[in-house]
Structure formats: structure tokens, C-alpha cells
Amino acid sequence: MTGVLEKRNLMLLASAAVLSAGVVVGGYLLGDGLTRAKAADRSVTVRGLAEKDVTADLATWTIAYSATGFDLPTVRAEIDANSKALQDYFRGLGFKVEELRPSGVNVNQFYNNGVNTITINQRMQLRTNDIARAQKAVAGQFDLVRRGVVLQEGSGMVYSFTKLNDVKPTMVAEATRDARKAAEQFAKDSGTGVGGIKSATQGYFSIDARDGEQSGSGSDTPYKKVRVVTTVDFYLD
């Protein structure tokens, strides 16, 4: 009987030893896992900037003009004369016929003290990819006044850059490199290293005037600056 009890006690002691060892090993593995998880979670969030000077590739000029009179045939004749003057002006600068098109017309008629007054508002639009020629047209627009065409307010050239997709990939890559430089400086100051990208967010692309003198969004100048800011989260070693 005594032998049986001793054997049972030995088995209990062995089981306790195994359990204790398992707790130690499990605790070590858990602690090591938490350490590695904490290290893997170390990161820094930085922003990278990329800018590129570009030139507009599309120019649009909506030209509004009007004529007023007391009978429709006379007013219409004046509008037709203005339209021909516009076509002659742009043809003389070398624009193609299809680059200048009518874009809208409206007729207003009202009576005042028994007098019938008619106003016709006409719009013509120039649309061209020849930016240099478009600039020349704007520079000489006073010649239209000499031809009898009075431009209404709001008749201005708009320059657009339509090839954003062509520069996006290289600009995003440049912004990411710029962000990594900032992360490397942070890591250097804190005695760590920079690892891979944890997450990244591409910012909004903006297209503004290259120089700060232009008003509004810079649509009145062909010289643009494309800008993008990316936010990147880098792992730290």
C-alpha cells in the first residue's frame, strides 16, 4: 500500500513539474509574441510632397456679344456682321474653321412706352490645342473692337491641363520618396530604422497657376503647377 502511495505521489510531482514547465514556456512565448507584436506596430506617419510645372494643352474662349435695335432684321444683320468679323479675325490668325463654333444664342424683346426693343445675345467658342496661337489671339483682341465687336463681360480665355493621368504615376512615386526621406530623418533622430510601408493615402491633385500673380484658380494662364501630397505610414525597425 505504501508503495502504491509513493508511486502516486511521484506521478503527481512529475505532472506538476510538467505543468510548471509548460506555464514557463507558454509565458515566454506569450511575452515574446507581445514584444514582437509591439515592435511590428511601431510606425511613423509622414507626408510627402511632389510638384511639377506644366503647360496647358487646351484653350477655350467663349466670346459673348450682342446687338440691340427696334426691328429683328436689323438686329440680326448686326449680329451676323459681328459673327463674320470674329471668323475673319481667327481665320487671319491661322485657326482652323472647326475650332470656332457658335455655342448659344437668345433673343429678348420688350416694349417700353409703345417702343419695341429687340436684343440678340450671341456666343461663339474657340477651342484649340494651339496654346501659343491662343495667347496671340487674346493679346490682339482689341482688334475685334476695331472691327465693331464689343465683347461682353465674362468673355475670357480659359487654359486647361488635361493630361493629369500622364503625370500621376511619377508624381505619386516622387511624393512617396519624399515621405520616406522625412521618415528616415525621424528614424535617425530617434535611433531607429525605416522599414516597409504600413499604409498610404494618396492626396488630392491640384492644378493652380504656376506664379502667384494670377487670380482665382489660375485658369487665365497656361502655365500651371500640379501638386499632390501623400500620407504614408512607415514601419520602424
DSSP-assigned states of every residue in 123-183 = EEEEEES-HHHHHHHHHTTHHHHHTT--PPTT--EEEE---HHHHHHHHHHHHHHHHHHHH
- Distance (Å, rounded) from C-alpha 79 to C-alpha 93? 22
Please enumerate in sequence order all residues whose Cβ is within 8 A of that of 57, keeping only pairs 6 or more positions apart, or say none.
129, 131, 160, 161, 162, 163
Grid cell digits, residue 162: 488635361
Counted domains in the chain: 2
In this structure, are 76 and 129 located in the same domain?
yes
Q: What is the CATH number of the domain that holds 222?
A: 3.30.110.170
Residue 14 is assigned to a structural domain of this protein = no
157-160 and 43-55 beta bridge pairing: unpaired
Residue 141 contacts by C-beta under 8 Å, 6 or more apart in sequence? 151
* 178 is a domain residue: yes
In a domain, 13, yes or no: no
- The domain boundary residue, chosen from 96, 127, 160: 160
Position 34 in a domain: no
pLDDT for residue 34 is more than 80? no
**pLDDT 10s digits, 111-133:** 878 788 999 999 999 999 999 99
CA–CA distance, 149 with 82 (Å, rounded to integer): 6
Q: Which domain holds residue 214?
A: 41-55+163-236
Residues 196 and 233: their CA atoms lie apart, in Å, by 9
- In the predicted model, what is the mean pLDDT of residues 45-70? 94
Question: Same domain, yes or no, for 114 and 178?
Answer: no
pLDDT-derived band at 65 (thresholds 50, 70, 90) equals: very high
Residue 24 lies in a domain: no
CATH, residue 143: 3.30.70
Tell which phi-psi region holds residue 202, choosing left (phi > 0), alpha (psi between -120 and 50) or beta: beta
122 and 170 both lie in a single domain: no
Q: Which residue has the higher pLDDT, 215 or 157?
A: 157
pLDDT above 70 coverage of the chain, percent: 79
Domain end position, chosen among 160, 191, 212: 160
Same-domain status, 174 and 154: no
Q: Does any domain span residue 69?
A: yes
Tell me how far apart the alpha carbons of residues 236 and 75 are, in angstroms, rounded to a whole number: 75
Q: 141, 160, 179: which is the final residue of a domain?
A: 160
- In a shared domain, residues 75 and 121: yes
